[in-house]
Structure 1
């Protein structure tokens, strides 16, 4: 028993994600698209790209070009002793649009398990960040597809 306790004490404590890691922001330039076109596409993207909850979009204002949603993506954290732990990585997403630009922001992150909220570790954000960045890449790529369809 003493050996087991000693072996566990040698493991470094998991590192919580620093505050800067808990905000993901990106500005994308999309030439040739108006604020209205970008707003409409962003609203559709927020509604379709994340959880299947009915009330993802919390606020949408076309004249301001802002869409705000609260949603989640599934997340797994490796567990040395058994199968991975499963979480919902919950967050707020905001898409702000103006002519030829979209700024996407992910913030207010927390992990929800069956036992309640959990601390987000640095290693969690190393997995979560690329997933969210890929959704933004898909949004930006969708505009290239629109241009190609119009120029067939």
Structure 2
């Protein structure tokens, strides 16, 4: 009997401690409208045709297979829409549980002469399975995860810019 009480108190203490770590504002879920990141990038002196072809090449090089990644591409409209997966590094108390998570997303690149707009949307975060939930990608995204994803999306936008500028410099090889 006494062992059962001690076990129950221990379990209650552990649950209280871990639930306290997971209830702060950084663990609040964000709305669908907040799960969009856009950024306009300027690439002076580069035509929309060159930005378009560089974007397709960049997708193929950064996301394994452009055929699997690109959902829609239209040079005349100046649009490339694709999908990707990225890692979200852990933060704070999450690092006790995992070192990183995966997130799926869609991206749209709108292209004009000398600039493009990157838009990242349709975010889904991978959840490990448990007794209560099947493993898989879910559209539940916390504020903390979104903040870290925005940094990743900014890095991807800058990586595309670097690729466009590098290709432009090396066009006369």
TM-score bracket, shorter-length normalisation: 0.7 to 0.9
Match of 2:3 in 1: none
User: Residues 17 and 123 of structure 1 are in contact (CA less than 8 Å); yes or no, is this contact kept in structure 2?
Assistant: no
**2:130 aligned with 1:117, yes or no?**
no
Matches within 5 A, 1:2-151: 2-8=12-18, 10-11=20-21, 13=23, 14-50=27-63, 55-77=68-90, 82-84=96-98, 87-114=101-128, 115-118=135-138, 119-149=140-170
- Normalized per residue, the structure richer in helix is 2
Once the two structures are superposed, residues 92-135 of structure 1 have per-residue CA deviations (whole angstroms, 9 ceiling, x without a partner) of: 01111111111110001011235123421111122221112111
Separation in structure 2 between the aligned mates of residue 80 and residue 124 of structure 1, nearest angstrom? 11
The number of equivalent residue pairs is 152
- Normalized per residue, the structure richer in strand is 1
User: Residues 32 and 100 of structure 1 are in contact (CA less than 8 Å); yes or no, is this contact kept in structure 2?
Assistant: yes
The 3 A distance-change label for structure 1 pair 122 and 151 is: same
User: Residues 18 and 122 of structure 1 are in contact (CA less than 8 Å); yes or no, is this contact kept in structure 2?
Assistant: no
The 3 A distance-change label for structure 1 pair 6 and 34 is: closer
Tell me the TM-score normalized by structure 1.
0.81
**Which deviates more from structure 2 when the two are superposed, residues 89-98 or residues 120-129?**
120-129
Q: Which runs of 5+ in 1 are unaligned?
A: none
Tell me the TM-score normalized by structure 2.
0.72
User: Residues 56 and 66 of structure 2 are in contact (CA less than 8 Å); yes or no, is this contact kept in structure 1?
Assistant: no
